């Protein structure tokens, strides 16, 4: 599933390949992926020029300027589980599950939105509508300050794995990078955010930043569907330390990586590098008689 590094890679590709280009025509082949009316989607986008691009968390927003000076509109893109957004020559046969075609300039190339599982969404919206969507998210995981991160952890209960993936607290981290960051920080996925030591919380903040930065540099992680705008897979797969490595030896200590289901999602961790959280009673040490 595309997370921040994959979406950022798509954003960088669109900046290179699509900015400054005009939308000549829009074809919706599968209305279910459009938020709002497909007719409105087509009519509000056609004829506009792609003049800007913003990413927050896993959401992408392309700014669309009208030649007549009308208010800009925004194409909000969410890749969902298996979404692909590519710049493709029109001569290339259309792959199955391609739901939207956006012809650029003279129509020799087009943006294609393909999504096998169809959890992705495209929406044409106003600035206010866009701000409402982006404003509901927590700070972007790459731009969040350490003070914001630590404040969001304070007094939080529940599994830290779920906390890392809560888009209302921090936007952009999903299953892959949550597992990897917890491993780097030596924190068990079931630890409670509010009980993690300050030193480990600091390490986790650093780990999130580092793991995202490295993954962006390698173009993200491809397991099955994710591709960049040129149709290339991401290269971070070989860097994974725990994600999807159940039963294989930890690259740091040799212990077997384990899998645990938390809130319906698989978590992968090293039982030795990420020891289980201690209970409160143990944290205060053994009770001494007479005290």
Member of 95, 151, 253, 263 binding Zn ion (CB under 5 A): 253
Please tell me the distance from the alpha carbon of residue 207 to that of residue 186, in angstroms, as a whole number: 10
Q: Please identify the residue of the shown chain whose CB is closest to the bound Zn ion.
A: 250
- Of residues 222-251, which lie at the interface with Zn ion (CB under 5 A)? 250
* Least Å from the CB of residue 184 to Zn ion: 11
Candidate ranges 68-76, 123-131, 133-141, 262-270; the one touching Zn ion (CB under 5 A): 262-270
Contact assessment for residue 185 and residue 263, using Cβ atoms and an 8 Å cutoff: no
2 is catalytic: yes
Please tell me the distance from the alpha carbon of residue 281 to that of residue 21, in angstroms, as a whole number: 63
3 is catalytic: yes
Per CB under 5 A, 252 contacts Zn ion: yes
Nearer to Zn ion, 75 or 185 (CB): 185
161 is catalytic: no
Nearer to Zn ion, 24 or 255 (CB): 255
Catalytic annotation, pick one of 3, 8, 63, 109: 3
Nearer to Zn ion, 123 or 245 (CB): 245
Nearer to Zn ion, 195 or 258 (CB): 258
Nearest to 174 by CA among 66, 80, 241: 80
286 is catalytic: no
- Of residues 263-282, which lie at the interface with Zn ion (CB under 5 A)? 270, 272-273
Please tell me the distance from the alpha carbon of residue 88 to that of residue 104, in angstroms, as a whole number: 10
| Residue found by looking up tokens 């493709």 in the block | 88
Contact assessment for residue 87 and residue 18, using Cβ atoms and an 8 Å cutoff: yes
Please tell me the distance from the alpha carbon of residue 73 to that of residue 62, in angstroms, as a whole number: 8
Catalytic annotation, pick one of 48, 58, 121, 241: 58
Collapsing DSSP to helix, strand or coil, 198 comes out as: helix
179 token code pair: 């597992």
Catalytic annotation, pick one of 118, 195, 210, 265: 265
Contact assessment for residue 221 and residue 236, using Cβ atoms and an 8 Å cutoff: yes
Q: Which residues bind Zn ion (CB under 5 A)?
A: 250, 252-253, 255, 270, 272-273
Residues known to be catalytic: 2-3, 58, 265
């Amino acid at each position: 599933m595309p997370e921040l590094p994959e979406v950022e890679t798509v954003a960088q590709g669109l900046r290179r390949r699509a900015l400054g280009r005009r939308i000549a025509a829009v074809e919706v082949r599968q209305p279910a992926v459009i938020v709002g009316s497909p007719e409105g989607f087509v009519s509000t986008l056609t004829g506009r020029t792609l003049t800007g691009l913003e990413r927050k968390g896993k959401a992408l927003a392309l700014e669309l300027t009208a030649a007549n000076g009308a208010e800009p509109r925004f194409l909000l893109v969410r890749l969902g589980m298996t979404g692909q957004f590519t710049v493709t020559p029109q001569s290339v046969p259309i792959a199955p599950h391609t739901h939207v075609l956006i012809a650029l300039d003279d129509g020799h190339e087009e943006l294609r939105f393909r999504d096998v599982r169809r959890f992705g969404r495209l929406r044409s919206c106003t600035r206010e509508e866009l701000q409402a969507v982006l404003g509901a998210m927590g700070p972007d995981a790459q731009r969040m300050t350490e003070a914001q991160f630590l404040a969001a952890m304070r007094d939080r209960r529940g599994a830290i794995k779920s906390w890392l993936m809560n888009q209302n607290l921090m936007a952009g981290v999903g299953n892959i990078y949550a597992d990897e960051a917890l491993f780097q920080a030596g924190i068990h996925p079931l630890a409670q955010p509010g009980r993690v030591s300050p030193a480990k919380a600091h390490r986790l903040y650093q780990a999130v930043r580092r793991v995202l930065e490295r993954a962006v540099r390698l173009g993200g992680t491809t397991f099955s569907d994710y591709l960049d705008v040129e149709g290339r897979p991401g290269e971070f797969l070989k860097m994974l330390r725990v994600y999807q490595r159940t039963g294989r030896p930890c690259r740091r200590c040799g212990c077997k990586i384990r899998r645990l289901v938390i809130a319906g999602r698989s978590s992968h961790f090293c039982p030795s590098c990420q020891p289980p959280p201690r209970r409160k009673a143990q944290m205060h040490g053994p009770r001494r008689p007479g005290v």
